[in-house]
Structure 1
Amino acid sequence: MEMKIKTLGIALVMCVGGVFLSACTSVDQPKAEAPPPSRYANASPLDLRLSAWPYPYPTKEFKTSLQGQPASMIYMDVPAVGKQKGAVVLFHGKNFSSDYWAPTIKGLTAAGYRVIAPDQIGFGKSSKPDVAYHFDDLAQNTQALLKSLGVTKTSVIANSMGGMVGIRFARLYPKTIQKLILENPLGLEDYSKDIPPQTNDNLLKLEMAQTETSYRRFLQSYFPVWQPSFEQFLEVYVRIQKGPDYPAFAKTSVLTYQMIAEKPVVGDLPQLKMPVLLVIGQKDRTVFGRRFAPPEAVKSLGNFPELGRKAAQAIPNAKLVPLDNVGHIPHIEVPDIFVQTVVDFLNSKS
């Protein structure tokens, strides 16, 4: 894929999700300063499929297709410790890959659950075809993966953008899902009402202008308290950006941004018939595409405490667990509390 794109100069310190262009939580940024020396200056570049990036468990490949193009879906399939109680599938967010589920996988397998954690097509180690992306297609590929593994019943845990995939999966394959856990999911409000449409060209220019400094600030907006261990999520981005495949990686990010912008799922909530657990970090104020929204609209968007309450009312069989002082990714911020909350729900007879 050949692209001739002029970088927009010094860091546009803006709230655009870097390689993942997904959700933004900060509004005003300070005037750009000379960036500090990169701590990853000597790190080797990563290719389009993150070949050199380690995952916490062995990965496998499922060959499938997307919009008629051949594609490979990479996944981890980790067996339960001891007697298996059931299976759980994990749907990652747009800014991350399945490797960020490491503490959840460890906790769930120790509790007796087989865990399947795929990188959706367009993310992580999976293929990134230059096609239109749709939640239904991602859900269909996940169902095909489960069928190939002989899994006919499973529970689902879905975070951020993965929540939108999980909701569509539940609507398309209700007989497959036993229980659905939505962890600070995007899509609890219709962004298309307030976020003006963006052209691919404009999004790509913003993507190519991202820097290590601006992307770190973006990631920090997810977490009330930034921990040194969270730097790994910045490192993978910086190392991709250093490599020759970054333009193709950035283009895929643009295409998956459009999927979120154009395909709201909030209308699906009343149709979810299985037991649903909403785990909502109360400090989360994530708004997809915030920087493109009119200032008056931003005030009412991204209020996750309120969105969680409304979702619990809209879903027929829902339980809400609010987590104080936690942001957009509880399973990383408070992994032990998250795992215990999820295991209690999975083990319950409701």
Structure 2
Amino acid sequence: MPFLTNEEGNQPIDIYYQDYGKGQPVILIHGWPLSHQAWEGQVQTLLEAGYRVISYDRRGFGLSSHPLDGYDYSSLASDLNAIIQQLDLHKVTIVGFSMGGGEVVRYLTDYGTERISKAALIASIIPLVAQKEDNPDGVPSEVLNSIMEALKNNRVGFLKDFHKNFYNYQENKGRMSEANLEYDFSIASHASPIATIKAAEAWAGTDFRAELKNVTVPTLIVHGDADNIVPIKTSADQAAKGIADNEYHVIPNAPHGLNLTHRKELDKLLLEFLKK
């Protein structure tokens, strides 16, 4: 199995990754609480279009190391940097889905744009999930607190139902199968319980608004207007206002997990953006 080790930080972290194809490199960063397997459709599409496609498991998820700590975004961005450096990648497009949008922005904050040509934020949490006085459209604290309590006291039970809302399953049965829900549950339930909680604390509590100015490469922003997990007004709408060089697309009726339910629409946008 392909692993590389990030030596930066308090302890070595082994990162599982898949590296297919040739051409311009595209790195796919998965969302919470899944693994690189969530990108199955996009890997196929990008390979067929002639790109080099690299996907990996965030620490604590999939086959990567399951450490006790290190789930803050700078630590997570250091894992991304280890991949870029050790594979000696240049002119990379980094694509972050949901929580993965945080790694995109924090990487650009901590490591700059020398090796990056483009970025993409897909159903991303950027710039802020939580409701605050100056972010009234965010997710209320009582909702976020209830998620944390459920993860601590009934993690598997919470995850069993989570992806129904992730995909707006009742409305999108024609675009996916119940087997997709079972597949995601299997992936999510086998993640580190500690990582599942601490990564959730990171995406729920990190404010990236001051870092949007660091996103200076051309950036694709795609969000669904029916996203029940990351409301569009607190995320993509604000990201589009704060990132100078962006291309913003809203997919009508698309849920959070639009990379599956609205794969054709997303893949078309992604390929058009990469070719520009």
Match of 1:150 in 2: 88
TM-score, normalised to structure 2's length? 0.85
Superposition pairs for residues 99-114 of structure 1, below 5 Å?
A: 99-114=37-52
Match of 2:136 in 1: none
Relative to 1, partners in 2 of residues 1:211 and 1:255: Cα closer, same or farther, differing over 3 Å? closer
Paired letter, 1:232: Y
CA contact 1:192–1:262 (8 Å) conserved in 2:
no
**CA displacement 1:147-173 (0-9 Å, x = unmatched):** 111212200111000011111112222
* Percent identical residues: 22
Q: How many Å separate the matches in 2 of 1:255 and 1:311?
A: 24
Paired letter, 1:142: L
Paired letter, 1:328: H
1:341 maps to which of 266, 269, 275 = 269
Unaligned stretches of 5+ in structure 2? 133-139
CA contact 2:128–2:234 (8 Å) conserved in 1:
no
Paired letter, 1:255: K
Q: How many residues align?
A: 260
Q: Please tell me whether residue 236 in structure 1 is matched to residue 180 in structure 2.
A: no
Q: How many Å separate the matches in 2 of 1:237 and 1:155?
A: 26
Q: Point out the structure with max Rg over C-alpha.
A: 1
Q: Which has the higher helix share?
A: 2
Match of 1:217 in 2: 161
- How big is the shift at 1:206? 4.1
TM-score, normalised to structure 1's length? 0.68
Superposition pairs for residues 42-81 of structure 1, below 5 Å?
A: 59-65=1-7, 67-80=9-22
- How big is the shift at 1:229? 3.5
Match of 1:177 in 2: 116
CA contact 2:34–2:188 (8 Å) conserved in 1:
no
Paired letter, 1:234: F
Unaligned stretches of 5+ in structure 1? 1-58, 241-245, 288-301
CA contact 2:77–2:104 (8 Å) conserved in 1:
yes
Q: How many Å separate the matches in 2 of 1:279 and 1:323?
A: 7
Larger RCO, structures 1/2 (Cα 8 Å, 6+ apart): 1
Paired letter, 1:269: L
**CA displacement 1:235-259 (0-9 Å, x = unmatched):** 3345x3xxxxx8xx21222222222
CA RMSD of aligned residues (A): 2.5
Q: Please tell me whether residue 315 in structure 1 is matched to residue 239 in structure 2.
A: no
